[in-house]
Amino acid sequence: MEMYLQKIACFAPGIDDWQTMCSALTGKINYGELAAQQISKIVPQILPANERRRTTSLIKLALHVGEQATVEWPDGAQLASVFSSSDGDHDILNKSTHALTLPGRPVSPTNFHNSVHNAPAGYWAIAAKSQAFSTSLSVGDASFSGGLIEAATFSQCERQPVLFIAYEYPAQSVLQTVRTCQYPFAVAMLMTPVVSNQSQTKFEISMHSEKQLSAMDNENLEALRKDNPAARSLPLLACLAHKTVDSCTLEYVNNTRITLKVTPCQ
């Protein structure tokens, strides 16, 4: 299956734009220890202030990369989207479940409103004034590759561009001890089913049963890759940053893997 990348955006500890990510991935800057990285405050401009107030760190993270990936796209309202996150919103889960333990079970209406897995997609629709198709899914640790397959099959099936966003934000509560990442990460990819003048890269996606998973050379990027399901995309981002013909293999489900062959368009 083929897809064409028009624009990419990402967010990681110490990294708030694609250029900085490229420098880290190509070794132009040395990406240091995760614990020492500054995590930027995220304020997605695309959302009106009164809506932004109701959002959470996870929602802001997803919208922030989505906004960066579509900044030059002429018709955001018509753009279909796929949102993928393993755990969803730990902050909301923590606040709502905590409220359930209190007398009268005072769950905040705003938190209840935000408790669905497609809350980020809902705020994206408000921000982009979009009624276009949108899917929100979770594929555990394979949430990046699962979301990418969903986005690619939708785009090929409907012959439409698609915005794909994978995002994961750590729990800052007791849930941290259960299952979560330690560091935030998000990536947004604006893709089309056919090549255009703006196409940066061609992806060819194939599926395999036995193939070595790609890893990162830099130990801190490798730690980030292992930490955050959305950061499992890092080997692909490294291929893109090097701007050469290359390929990488990412985990999918049930012991299958997907391989992405990457070919620059210009």
Return the residue of 71, 194, 207, 245 that touches another protein, per CB under 8 A.
207
Backbone angles phi and psi of 126, in degrees to 5: -65, -45
**What SS3 string covers 40-77?**
CCCCCCCCCHHHHCCCCHHHHHHHHHHHHHCCCCCCHH
Return the residue of 74, 106, 157, 266 that touches another protein, per CB under 8 A.
157
82, 147 contact by CB (below 8 A): yes
Output 113 or 208, the one with its CB closest to another protein. 208
* Stretch of 67-75, 115-123, 150-158, 178-186 lying at the interface with another protein (CB under 8 A): 150-158
* Stretch of 24-32, 52-60, 204-212, 219-227 lying at the interface with another protein (CB under 8 A): 204-212
Return the residue of 20, 118, 156, 263 that touches another protein, per CB under 8 A.
156
Site string for another protein, 224-263 (x = CB under 8 A): --------------------------------x-------
Q: In angstroms, give the least distance from the CB of 157 to another protein.
A: 6
Return the residue of 206, 213, 244, 245 that touches another protein, per CB under 8 A.
206
The CA-based angle 120-18-154, given to 5 degrees, is: 50
The total of other beta-carbon atoms located within 10 Å of residue 16's CB is: 20
Q: In angstroms, give the least distance from the CB of 259 to another protein.
A: 9
* Stretch of 72-80, 154-162, 228-236, 237-245 lying at the interface with another protein (CB under 8 A): 154-162
DSSP E strand stretches across 129-200: 134-137, 162-168, 185-192
Return the residue of 17, 33, 75, 204 that touches another protein, per CB under 8 A.
204
| Rounded alpha-carbon distances, angstroms, from residue 128 to 80, 152, 199, 208, 243 | 11, 21, 22, 37, 30
Structure tokens at 61: 């993270």
The CA-based angle 165-167-170, given to 5 degrees, is: 170
153 contacts another protein (rule: CB under 8 A): yes
175 contacts another protein (rule: CB under 8 A): no
Q: In angstroms, give the least distance from the CB of 261 to another protein.
A: 10
149 contacts another protein (rule: CB under 8 A): yes
Output 53 or 159, the one with its CB closest to another protein. 159
Q: Determine the Cα–Cα distance for residues 218 and 10; give it in Å rounded to an integer.
A: 18
21, 12 contact by CB (below 8 A): yes
Which residues make up the interface to another protein (CB under 8 A)? 1, 149-150, 153-154, 156-157, 204-209, 256
